[in-house]
């Protein structure tokens, strides 16, 4: 199945009053590259998220964005750093005793001290349970990403199939034209020899030899045969269930090489037009293939 390398997937989970959300965005890339962006408290789960994504992605660059927010309506949980509170209190007592100050720390004073009371930015669950929820969320987002990539891939496959059919039609036109090229060359060569020598009929043996040499140099039968083979291979690859992007890219390069050889060997106006149309279709196919996994 042809799969595109571009797509988007999203999934979310609710965990202990928090909402986990995983967003995936993929683009074409030569290899499989997964870049994960996590909140600081979740950095240790980066490899878990990456492995979940790689179950559905074999090639392409995937940017993973993980966000953690409190569920709406949930009161923010506060945490008190008791060790820091005791340190502040001991420091206040020492200052009051040494400088003969009166009064003491009030609750207002304590709440205004930096770092003493903080919001809890992480669900209050066991690390293993949190990691499992995050992995499940990433796996669901990756599955949705893969589904979108497959839908995009079906459009690419249809487009490539149509262009492949057109390319085969052009190849058949060139195949029908190939014998005619030699015949036209023989007639032109005979006329030119007559003009140069001023003879009504040139040496038929020498003429046949020249035509045979030209036919050998200008023959495009081998190139057309290889091109036909490549067309068949590409058509079969479009039905393959494995990632075929790299194979398709290589095959189109080979097809383009054969077409260039055809154009250089046969100096013929009609064939030149066919070669131009072939190269235009191959270039469009190459651009599409760059986005296939």
The string of pLDDT tens digits covering residues 231-245 is 999 999 998 888 889
Q: Same domain, yes or no, for 16 and 145?
A: yes
Q: Domain with 143 in it: what CATH number?
A: 3.30.230
Structural domain includes residue 1:
no
Number of domains in the chain: 3
Structural domain includes residue 2:
no
Structural domain includes residue 173:
yes
Q: Same domain, yes or no, for 92 and 220?
A: no
Structural domain includes residue 251:
yes
Structural domain includes residue 172:
yes
Q: Same domain, yes or no, for 128 and 256?
A: no
DSSP 4: B
Which residues, including other chains, have CB under 8 Å from residue 11's CB and lie 6 or more apart?
21, 22, 137, 138, 140, 141, 144
Q: Same domain, yes or no, for 140 and 232?
A: no
Give the end of a domain, one of 150, 168, 203. Answer: 150
Which has the closest alpha carbon to 258: 236, 239, 233? 233
Q: Same domain, yes or no, for 200 and 273?
A: yes
Q: Same domain, yes or no, for 13 and 144?
A: yes
* Residue 56 lies in domain: 7-74+123-150
Q: Same domain, yes or no, for 68 and 91?
A: no
Q: Same domain, yes or no, for 82 and 204?
A: no
Q: Same domain, yes or no, for 247 and 191?
A: yes
pLDDT given at position 62: 96
- DSSP for 25-80, please give it: EEE--SSEEEEEE--GGGGGGHHHHHHHHHTT-SSEEEEEEEEEEEPTTPPPPEEE
Structural domain includes residue 62:
yes
Structural domain includes residue 22:
yes
Q: At which residue do the structure tokens 């990539």 appear?
A: 149
pLDDT given at position 206: 63
pLDDT in tens, 209-232: 666 666 666 678 889 999 999 999
- Contact predicate 278/252, CB 8 Å: no
pLDDT in tens, 92-126: 878 777 777 777 777 777 767 777 666 555 666 77
Give pTM, 2 decimals: 0.71
Answer with the residue of higher pLDDT: 199 or 127.
127
Give the end of a domain, one of 107, 131, 150. Answer: 150
Vertex 247: Cα angle to 241 and 253 (nearest 5): 145
Q: What is the largest CA-CA distance in the chain?
A: 134
Q: Same domain, yes or no, for 195 and 281?
A: yes
Q: Same domain, yes or no, for 90 and 195?
A: no
Phi first, then psi, for residue 223 (nearest 5°) are: -65, -40
What is the distance between the alpha carbons of residues 211 and 189, in angstroms, rounded to a whole number?
8
Confidence band of 270 (pLDDT split at 50, 70, 90): confident
> What is the length of the chain?
293
The CB density around residue 175, as the number of other CB atoms within 10 Å, is 15
């Amino acid at each position: 199945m042809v799969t595109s390398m571009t797509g988007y997937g999203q999934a979310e989970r609710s965990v202990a009053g928090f909402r986990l959300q995983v967003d995936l965005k993929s683009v074409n890339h030569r290899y499989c590259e997964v870049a994960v962006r996590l909140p600081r408290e979740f950095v240790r789960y980066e490899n878990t998220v990456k492995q979940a994504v790689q179950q559905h992605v074999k090639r392409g660059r995937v940017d993973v964005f993980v966000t953690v927010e409190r569920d709406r309506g949930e009161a923010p949980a506060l945490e008190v750093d008791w060790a820091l509170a005791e340190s502040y209190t001991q420091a206040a007592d020492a200052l009051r005793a040494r400088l003969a100050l009166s009064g003491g720390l009030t609750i207002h004073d304590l709440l205004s001290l930096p770092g003493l009371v903080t919001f809890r930015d992480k669900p209050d669950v066991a690390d293993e349970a949190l990691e499992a929820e995050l992995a499940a969320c990433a796996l669901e987002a990756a599955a949705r990403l893969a589904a979108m990539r497959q839908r995009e891939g079906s459009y690419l496959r249809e487009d490539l199939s149509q262009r492949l059919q057109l390319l085969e039609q052009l190849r058949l036109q060139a195949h029908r034209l190939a014998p005619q090229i030699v015949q036209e060359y023989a007639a032109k060569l005979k006329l030119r020899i007559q003009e140069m020598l001023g003879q009504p009929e040139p040496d038929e043996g020498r003429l046949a030899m020249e035509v045979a040499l030209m036919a050998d140099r200008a023959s495009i039968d081998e190139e057309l045969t290889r091109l036909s083979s490549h067309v068949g291979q590409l058509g079969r690859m479009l039905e393959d269930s494995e990632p075929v992007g790299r194979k398709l890219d290589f095959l189109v390069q080979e097809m383009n090489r054969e077409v260039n050889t055809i154009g250089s060997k046969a100096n013929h106006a009609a064939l030149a037009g066919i070669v131009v149309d072939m190269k235009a279709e191959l270039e469009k196919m190459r651009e599409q293939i760059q986005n296939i996994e």
